Amino acid sequence: YLGKVMQVRIIPKIFNNRVEFRILRRDKVTKSVIESHNAKIENGWTLRHSLQAGPELIPEINLEKEGFIIKNRQGTIIRDGIASQGFAARSAIGITDDEDILLVAVSAKKGITIKQLAVLMKELKAKSAMALDGGSSTTLVWYEEKILKTFVGSGKSPASVNSALLVFPNK
């Protein structure tokens, strides 16, 4: 019974309150934003792509609003779907004032909490940021001097990919 009650309380939060990384376009201009799924798109802009994840890290962490944690009436956490208080491999995406996109991954060897991830993104000058998947699936792949490099948060070989975010630099 408790599981069904939690599902009823959490599903609207997942579908409506979680943040998403959006790529918008107007004429020949493209911009990236991190906003709540329910946030209206500015007039004249068209949504080209979006990736819902979370929780939001900057400007503020909204674990309960986004349905990542559930508290009882006394304010005690009774469900923490992402082990937000614990140390784990984590990944995040952020946007700076200069509109640069930051992709960050932290290994399980060091581990980081969600609050620490938000602090790290602020230190990297993100004006907005959200967490991506964490734990053993934390993986970052990039090209450096025409060589494919891979960072796996668990330190083990990469897991099979269920979903991916591909970012191509503007040239």
| E runs forming strands in the chain | 19-26, 29-36, 46-52, 56-58, 69-71, 77-80, 90-96, 101-106, 126-131, 139-144, 147-152
Residue showing tokens 């400007």: 59
Task: Tell me the C-alpha to C-alpha distance, in Å, between residue 33 and each of 30, 96, 99, 163.
Answer: 10, 10, 9, 20
Query: What's the pLDDT score for residue 159?
Result: 62
Confidence of residue 118 (pLDDT cuts 50, 70, 90): very high
pLDDT digits (tens, 9 = 90+) for 7-48: 556 777 777 889 999 999 999 999 999 999 989 999 999 999
With residues binned 3-state (H G I as helix, E B as strand, rest as coil), the percentages for the chain, rounded to 5, are 15, 40, 45
Confidence of residue 5 (pLDDT cuts 50, 70, 90): low
pLDDT digits (tens, 9 = 90+) for 49-93: 999 998 999 999 989 989 899 888 899 998 888 999 999 999 999
- How far apart, in whole angstroms, are the C-alpha atoms of residue 111 and residue 100? 25
Cis peptide bond N-terminal to 55, omega within 30: yes
Written as one letter, the residue type at 5 is V
